[in-house]
A and B are shown apart, each in its own frame.
Chain A
């Protein structure tokens, strides 16, 4: 299982009976074999309550269930795709960046305020994540979209990583993040460097950064 990268913008997934995949609607490029695509009303896993949660949290990207036997190629919008394998750890990512993920992963919605209170909410606004973000945990693979290539920066204790909020894609592991501001008098008069807000991540894990400051 898992996703195989075909090129920077395309992944291939093996679909075997009994194991579901979720993917963004319309992201299938081609498939061979006997594969069915069913629109997923609940927008992922966890039943109706999770669906309501996602709707409220605006994390309800239209998803479809992919079942059957064969291989499927995914790609969307010409965005770069990055495959992240999870081994029991947690990935935090915006729902609209999810291209596809395996059904073995548990999907839930997380309130940004639960990571750092009010500052977490401010952070969500600045990064464009909003007040909520999607959490995936368990064992499995995730294909995440980004504008421009993605690179992974490891986060080790005692060495925090600063990321431009617009270039932030996702992070995994036990990571605390906070918004650090470097506002000076220059910013007040509109002569700032344009980098007044930074995301400071510390702890143990990794952060995925895209080589662009453009949103999806």
Chain B
């Protein structure tokens, strides 16, 4: 993926210093954190970045550390810029750019619907290419490094393509995003949740990842938090419900779904003609996943799929579904939305192509 190898990240101290960038001082009772480049890399004085077009009030400086901590960003801005400037927009308002720093970034929460900030202290699993930025001293290790391999053994209880995953280690803040899809974090408490493999971005190492018996899905078991993406906000529904296969993000606690086929309109005289000639087309909703039992089903607001991730191949073995078969036969074909209907005669896709 677009994930560069480790050297570019390096240690934080040889990051290029950005002229004019001010790191607000740590709160008083905030001990020096070895990971954060508070003093080393950045100039402690200087102008605020000029990009916002705010009037600069003549060379303000970093407030001395014994002052009250610069708490929320807005107050800080007011203090800095003085004057009756418009209040800085909030992340939710969408009124303009929000300038975040290492302290104003949320802790394990969404920065905006599309970006998620992880307070890292230890290790974290994430899919390759989902990291957009980080503060602090974080190393990203792919497979092959000894430590990581041991962790993989503990947490990836599946023949996963571990090469799709990296382990972030260190301390700091890690920003995750994926092609501007909506991100959500989910807390599991001694639970289980199954999620489409392409939608999972990152997870706590306290969780264990397994390959679901449903091809293309991964199951997370244990206690911890993980981050998943969806095309449009996620909506939780309770069974009994039937879900468009493309709109399904995952499910929690309920038994695995079954297929439900719906060809009501293929009955009767008109239905017979329809069936024989293919005229009339298909509604595109003949096939659903049916959920029963107690639990929660996660839906995304669109039937546009996120690209699936290969979850590896299950070894050929009697009694194992999809054993020995690649789990996504034609991974791109899943989004077609129109299963090859047996009832459409020999016309195949022709009827639909002609808009009938």
Contact = CB atoms under 8 A, between A and B. Distances in A.
B220 interface: no
Contacts of B279: 41
A28 B286 CA distance: 11
Contacts of A36: 262, 264-265
B283 interface: yes
Nearest to A8: B233
B235 A6 contact: yes
A64 B244 CA distance: 15
Interface stretch (B29-37, B296-304, B316-324): B296-304
Nearest to B243: A30
Given A9-B233, A30-B247, A32-B242, A41 B280 contact: yes
Given A7-B232, A38-B264, A29 B299 contact: yes
B280 A37 contact: no
B265 A39 contact: yes
A73 B235 contact: yes
Nearest to A41: B280
B142 interface: no
B236 to A, nearest CB: 10
Residue of B233, B286, B302 with most partner-chain A CB within 10 A? B302
A76 B283 contact: no
B235 A78 contact: no
Given A28-B244, A29-B299, A30-B247, A39 B281 contact: yes
B237 interface: yes
A25 interface: yes
A19 B205 CA distance: 51
Contacts of B300: 29
A10 B244 CA distance: 13
Contacts of B284: 25-26, 37, 39, 62, 64
B235 A7 contact: yes
Interface in B124-178: none
Given A7-B232, A29-B247, A77-B304, A41 B356 contact: yes
Interface residues of A, number: 28
Residue of A26, A41, A75 with most partner-chain B CB within 10 A? A75
A102 interface: no
B330 interface: no
Contacts of B244: 26, 28-30
Given A10-B233, A36-B262, A38-B264, A29 B301 contact: yes
Interface in B224-250: 231-233, 235, 237, 240-244, 247
Contacts of A10: 232-233, 235, 299, 301
A25 B338 CA distance: 10
A37 B243 contact: no
Contact of A32 (B231, B240, B301, B355): B240
B303 A76 contact: yes
B232 A75 contact: yes
Interface string A1-43: 0000011111000000000000001111111100011110100
Contacts of B264: 36, 38
Interface string A62-83: 1010000000010111110000
Interface in B201-260: 231-233, 235, 237, 240-244, 247
B241 A30 contact: yes
Residue of B232, B262, B338 with most partner-chain A CB within 10 A? B232
Nearest to B113: A8
B285 interface: yes
A104 B134 CA distance: 54
Contact of A73 (B299, B338, B356): B299
B27 interface: no
A39 B280 contact: yes
Nearest to A35: B242
A112 B237 CA distance: 43
B70 interface: no
16 contacts: A9-B233, A10-B233, A25-B281, A26-B303, A26-B337, A29-B301, A29-B303, A30-B247, A39-B281, A39-B282, A39-B283, A39-B284, A41-B281, A62-B284, A64-B284, A75-B232
* Nearest 10 Cβ contacts at the A-B interface: A26-B284, A9-B301, A78-B302, A10-B301, A9-B232, A29-B247, A37-B285, A64-B283, A37-B283, A30-B243
Interface of A: 6-10, 25-32, 36-39, 41, 55, 60, 62, 64, 73, 75-79
Given A7-B232, A10-B233, A28-B244, 9 more contacts: A8-B233, A26-B244, A30-B243, A37-B262, A38-B264, A60-B355, A62-B355, A78-B232, A79-B302
